[in-house]
Amino acid sequence: MHVYVLANSELNHLVINGSAYGLVLASVELECSDVHIYGSLYGVSVLNAAVNISDCTFSTAHTALRLVSSSTVALTRCLVEGGEYGVYSHSTHHSLNVTDCMFRNITASAVRLEDWYYDWYYGIYDVDTVMPAALLLHRNLFSRSSRAVHIHQNIGDDITVEVSDNVIESGLVNVENEDIVSGVYINLEAVGNQAHIKLERNAFRSLPYPAISISRCHGSTLPANHSTAVIGNNFTNISATAVEMQCADTVSTVIQSNTFLQNIVNDGPSCLNISLSELGNRSATELRIDGNEFRENSGTHVVRIVESESSTVSSDDASRLSEFVSNTLVDNFPHVSTVYSEYSHLRMHFNTFSNQRATFELWVGFPADQVANCTYNSWGVSTEDGVATRIFDNSDVASVGSVVYLPFLNSSDQFSCAELSDCSGHGSCIHSDTCLCDAGWSAVDCSQYSCADVYDCSGRGQCVGPNLCQCDNGWLPHDCRTASCVLRNNCSERGVCSLPNV
């Protein structure tokens, strides 16, 4: 069966099985629900349409949802399983909103958006096409897919990417492509005046490849409003670099309040790898790495920050705008150092280091004529000589720069956190009115529950106690990642519960 829809309408309660092109929606405004497509090459093809697709199932050989020409598409509470791609767009200007969906066993990319349009007849790429205007991904589950999100833009067009409250995992069982499972890959080789990326409150776990990989080496010198924010995400059991960013200094970049826990990095130098490679002659922009927690991670380093020779940021601007502050790095066991930095202008303050299995807490690689300001940190030792042994700099090798670490926070001092209710009895006072919260607690005074160790309830529940979730209807504890089909008699033990009561 092959359904071609040209008129505005509603499309409900339809099953398509074995059709090559499934459902084609052209030049329509359409509400599409309870449609199930199996065994097709393509599930739904959308051309110049505004479509809401909800409560549908797609099991296709190639692509479940194909965006062919400029369209606005909302995909809600759908199951996409098998095939090479879940959603695939390689042309024109789209707005795509995907919410509460499950993508499972996708062999290439669950969501792939790229601007390269290949003309098979002439064998050339048409670079006059443009990227989707907006990609919004909220509360989705990506499981056992080679790559959850793949975005490649080489056109000077505005773009917004928001990825929030999703779970991205390799899954609990082995699949053929298990060794190449990765998270979010974004490569912006060209952009317009507005280009914003925000990844917030996502849970990445058990991935053998990077969880987040972002490159913004576009080289544009035009005035622009660009930003990248990675905020409040949880990274657990990632076997490669968890977060890597190239040319991070081309935009305002904020990496804040993320948790990196038990990542055994076998492929890549560190959990967090930042490349500062400014291109062109643009103004300096903000780089802030703030309030992140790194615990029980390995790798050559835990955090690696590299500056290229081509960077054009002046020392004054870079010092004013670049900070590594209020991060907690404890119980990690890197092979060389907890932090490696080739960027002397990155100010490092109020960080807590306590990684006795690391040879050094900080290893610098910038030139001998440069000095890094790294004052007011706690280094896990109580004496000035002890701090010196935790830092590899000019005092160890004359070819590298120096680190100013005095004054430092003395771990043996008895600081007062009286203004913070002495950390509410759920943390340690590591500096005057500065708390390091115990597991399961958060906020400046450690008075609020934290569910960071259970993936913040996977975006499908409320945190009601220390690492204790009250899951939304249709989701099961302890981390609200598993769907419940209790209203469907638990599939009568003859199926798999893919979404709540589906």
pLDDT tens string 115-124? 654 444 334 4
Whole-number pLDDT of residue 400:
96
**Does the pLDDT of residue 176 top 50, yes or no?**
no
Q: 174: burial class by Cβ within 10 Å (0-12, 13-18, 19+)?
A: exposed
Q: Which has the minimum average pLDDT: 41-45, 228-232, 336-340?
A: 41-45
Higher pLDDT among residues 91 and 495, named by residue:
495
Whole-number pLDDT of residue 119:
43
**Does the pLDDT of residue 376 top 60, yes or no?**
yes
Report the alpha-carbon distance of residue 163 to residue 150 in Å, rounded: 12
Q: Which has the minimum average pLDDT: 34-43, 159-168, 291-300, 409-418?
A: 409-418
Report the alpha-carbon distance of residue 390 to residue 354 in Å, rounded: 10
Tokens of 27: 């030049």
Tokens of 242: 């968890």
Whole-number pLDDT of residue 283:
45
* 3-class secondary structure per residue, 300-321: CEEEEEEECCCCCCCHHHHHHH
Q: Give me the DSSP letters along 227-284.
A: EEEEES-EEEEESB-SEEEESGGGSEEEEES-EEES----BSS-SEEEEE---SSPPP
pLDDT, average across residues 331-338: 95
To the nearest whole percent, how much of the chain has pLDDT over 70? 85
Residue 4's pLDDT band, with cuts at 50, 70 and 90, is: low
**Does the pLDDT of residue 409 top 80, yes or no?**
yes
Written as one letter, the residue type at 162 is E
CB count, 10 Å around CB of 267? 12
> Is residue 92 within 8 Å of 116, Cβ to Cβ?
no
pLDDT, average across residues 161-173: 83
Higher pLDDT among residues 473 and 121, named by residue:
473
Higher pLDDT among residues 347 and 191, named by residue:
347
Report the alpha-carbon distance of residue 441 to residue 459 in Å, rounded: 18
3-state secondary structure of 296: coil
Whole-number pLDDT of residue 130:
47
> Is residue 65 within 8 Å of 53, Cβ to Cβ?
yes
Report the alpha-carbon distance of residue 362 to residue 217 in Å, rounded: 27
**Does the pLDDT of residue 47 top 90, yes or no?**
no
Torsion angles phi and psi, residue 483, rounded to 5: -75, 150
pLDDT, average across residues 288-292: 94
- Beta-ladder partners of 17: 38
Nearest Cα to Cα of residue 287 among 237, 199, 347: 347
Contacts of 10 (CB under 8 A, 6+ apart): 30, 31, 32, 33
Tokens of 191: 């952009």
Residue 279's pLDDT band, with cuts at 50, 70 and 90, is: very low
Residue 290's pLDDT band, with cuts at 50, 70 and 90, is: very high
Torsion of Cα atoms, 324 then 328 then 333 then 338, to 10°: 20
Report the alpha-carbon distance of residue 319 to residue 346 in Å, rounded: 6
Contacts of 459 (CB under 8 A, 6+ apart): 138, 139, 164, 165, 166, 167, 201, 202, 203, 480
Name residue, tokens 């990319």. 109
To the nearest whole percent, how much of the chain has pLDDT over 90? 50
**Does the pLDDT of residue 390 top 90, yes or no?**
yes
Q: HSE (CB half, 13 Å, CA atoms) of 428? A: 11
**Does the pLDDT of residue 326 top 80, yes or no?**
yes
Report the alpha-carbon distance of residue 476 to residue 115 in Å, rounded: 39
Whole-number pLDDT of residue 284:
47
**Does the pLDDT of residue 411 top 80, yes or no?**
no
Q: What is the CA radius of gyration of the chain?
A: 24
Report the alpha-carbon distance of residue 425 to residue 437 in Å, rounded: 9
Higher pLDDT among residues 438 and 278, named by residue:
438
For residue range 196-244, list pLDDT tens digits in order: 999 999 999 999 889 999 998 876 555 467 889 999 999 999 998 999 9
pLDDT, average across residues 175-197: 76
Higher pLDDT among residues 221 and 82, named by residue:
82
Whole-number pLDDT of residue 448:
92
> Is residue 417 within 8 Å of 424, Cβ to Cβ?
no
Whole-number pLDDT of residue 194:
84
Whole-number pLDDT of residue 2:
56
Q: Is the peptide bond before 407 cis (omega within 30 degrees of 0)?
A: yes
Q: Which has the minimum average pLDDT: 17-26, 197-206, 313-322?
A: 313-322
Report the alpha-carbon distance of residue 229 to residue 195 in Å, rounded: 12
Mean pLDDT of the chain: 84
Whole-number pLDDT of residue 91:
62
Nearest Cα to Cα of residue 214 among 184, 241, 193: 184
**Does the pLDDT of residue 455 top 50, yes or no?**
yes
> Is residue 405 within 8 Å of 353, Cβ to Cβ?
no
Report the alpha-carbon distance of residue 17 to residue 2 in Å, rounded: 9
> Is residue 262 within 8 Å of 236, Cβ to Cβ?
yes
Nearest Cα to Cα of residue 330 among 297, 286, 367, 295: 295
pLDDT, average across residues 60-64: 91
Residue 500's pLDDT band, with cuts at 50, 70 and 90, is: confident
> Is residue 285 within 8 Å of 249, Cβ to Cβ?
yes
Report the alpha-carbon distance of residue 188 to residue 329 in Å, rounded: 31
Q: Which residues of 212-237 are buried (b: 16+ CB within 10 A; e: fewer)?
A: bbbbbebebeeebebbbbbbbbbbbb
CB count, 10 Å around CB of 127? 12
H helix runs in 78-227, sequence order? none
Q: Which has the minimum average pLDDT: 70-74, 132-136, 146-150?
A: 132-136
Whole-number pLDDT of residue 180:
64
CB count, 10 Å around CB of 275? 18
Residue 175's pLDDT band, with cuts at 50, 70 and 90, is: very low
Report the alpha-carbon distance of residue 97 to residue 52 in Å, rounded: 9
Name residue, tokens 């990496």. 255
